[in-house]
Chains A and B, each alone.
Chain A
Amino acid sequence: MMTAALEYFQFVLAPQMLIGLVLGVAVILVALGLTIIFGLLDVINMSHGEFYALGAFIALALASIGLPFWLLLLLVLLMMLPVGYIVERGLIQRVFHSGERHVTTLLLTFGLGLVMEDAFRLAFGPNPHKPATPIAGAIDVFGVFLPLYRLFLIAGGAVIVALVALVVYRTRLGAMVRAAAFDRHMAASLGVPVQHVYAGAFAFGVALAGLAGVLLAPIYSVFPTMGRDFILMAFTVVIVGGMGSIAGVIVAGLLLTQVQAISSLYISPVWSDPIVFGIMVIMLMVRPQGLFGRLGHG
């Protein structure tokens, strides 16, 4: 009886949980960016999925000229920061001060997402590309088969998330960001460069998404609509965790991806989106502020 349970764990449950964990880390990175952008700027970035895709596509392009994976990660991060910064200053700020900011920024970023998605299609074609796995091979831990790249993803992702949390909660920069989120005018009068903080936060948020895109590309492939498919899960994590809450994103991200991974063992994958969405709806109906509090206003 014990051996059956153990075998079940070894060959069925653990691998699935691992898959869930890999997805979880990626979702957390993407959702983290989304929640920072919402918590700080009060902006719903409907193009966030497309920035996730952008990271993957940039990596694809750079890889085709022969750059190694490690360099790709760094370059994507460095390239996406200015892009995000320009988008915030150039586009979002233009509608930021209108009365219906929530609606206009949502619509604006929705339009941006459309343009980006079609641009990907224009540049790379509609078909998926699958980059090679940067770290081949696997190790055997207690009979459970663990692909090395996935382990790296989990570890690397966790490190990034930890770094983000560290910066936000333990550094002066983070303190400035939190101050600007809490009360913009007060922060400005205390000398916090609010404009730059906003643009920087947006840039950082989309860069995180782009990073997730690079990391996941060898597993899920790269194609123009990859952002659209991902975004519902990211939004759900943000809502369930609580808009603007980093802790919330981490907890909800891990929880929801594990639910999805394990449930896919028993239920057809068609139902995994409805289940995830159902959780979002129930959360919105029962406790709209999510599991945890918020960084700023909402």
Chain B
Amino acid sequence: MADALTRSMRASHVLAAVLVVAALIFAAVGAAIDDTFYLRLGTEALIFAGLALSVDILLGYTGLLSLGQALYFGLGAYLSALVLMVTPSFWAAMGATLIAAIVVGAIGGFIANRVRGVYFALITFGMAQIVAKIVYNTRALGASDGLIGVPVINVNFGIASISSASPVGFFLFTLAFIVVLYALAAYLLDTPFGRLLIALKANERRVPFLGYSTVTPRLTAYVIAAVIAALSGALYPMLRGFVSPELLFFSTSGNAVITLVTGGVGTLVGALYGGILLTVLKSVVGSYTEHHLIVIGLLFMGAVIFLPRGLMGIVRPAVERWLGGKVVP
């Protein structure tokens, strides 16, 4: 017996599967024509889609607008770069990032979750700005130039290994990685825990009278989002070989929000589609003018006014109906 929320989640899975198939075709074509640029661009799009996913967990499900997820994304990126420069081990980088994200996320969550709504957005904004400023001014972290010279690594799975230098290989690996993050988020959100987050968004005042503190679920959601952002960020230096403070700037957080809103808040898969869409847009518009922000900004504003549920907000209900969901008045 699947209720409406579970059915919506299933529709998201269908759409995610479509995306994966499209990505595989893209990879096949890219491999055939021996392309490097577009495959790497696609990989980057997926990495930033992971960041957008983390924003969705907070905004789309828990009802918290975080304007500072770049803090964790950048944390993951920098930490991963530092670890890789010492020992080129994928698992070491990821492990360190996971632990750091949990710790820093818990601290950040403790600070930010004292407040709600607009104040929460401002605190997360401020936290990210502070860390960005500090990193920008820290010589040991490369200051404004960032860290370069991250080595190419081999991701070992025992039976096979993928080199981060291989455009197709790393694209497919990143695709799988992001899909795993998506699956993890999707699973959690269809559990009673996830439903509690949805309840928090729907009517936070009532939740304590159901028998639950509001603090623990919010903090947990925040840490989970921090982990997802950080793990996505950790892939960045593997792809590009460097990290820079831009990854921590507000523009990164802002882009993630734009990605999510245009793709579709509260659908999880909207983060993925939004990420692809925006990367494509930036590429296309960017080839005509370097002022692509104006175009994207205008499109974003248009989305907020006319299409508040984003692209997936229209597509997903259609998929739900196609899957045979009952139409409720």
Contacts and interface: CB of A to CB of B under 8 A. Distances in A.
B297 A118 contact: yes
Interface string B296-312: 11101100110010000
Interface in B108-133: 111, 114-115, 117-119, 121-123, 125-127, 129-130, 133
Interface stretch (B27-35, B145-153, B254-262, B267-275): B254-262
User: DSSP class of A's interface residues: helix, strand, loop or mixed?
Assistant: helix
A280 interface: yes
A230 to B, nearest CB: 12
Contacts of A106: 65, 118, 121
Contacts of B258: 111
A270 B301 contact: no
Interface string B11-44: 0000000000000000000000000000000000
A235 B122 contact: yes
Nearest 7 A/B pairs, CB to CB: A115-B297, A114-B297, A118-B293, A111-B301, A111-B300, A277-B126, A270-B137
User: Which bucket holds chain B's interface residue count?
Assistant: 35 or more
Nearest to B114: A285
Nearest to A236: B126
B115 A284 contact: yes
A115 to B, nearest CB: 4
B261 to A, nearest CB: 6
Contact of A118 (B59, B261, B294): B294
Given A104-B304, A106-B65, A121-B291, A239 B122 contact: yes
B250 interface: yes
Contacts of A115: 293-294, 297-298, 301
Contacts, number: 98
B318 interface: no
B3 to A, nearest CB: 22
User: DSSP class of B's interface residues: helix, strand, loop or mixed?
Assistant: helix
Contacts of B300: 107, 111, 114
Interface centre among B126, B134, B254, B298 (most CB of A within 10 A): B126
B197 to A, nearest CB: 16
Interface string A262-298: 0000000010011001001100110010000000000
Interface string A215-228: 00000000000001
Nearest to B64: A103
Contacts of B126: 232, 235-236, 277, 280-281
A286 B146 CA distance: 36
A281 B305 contact: no
Contacts of B296: 114
A127 interface: no
Contacts of A121: 291
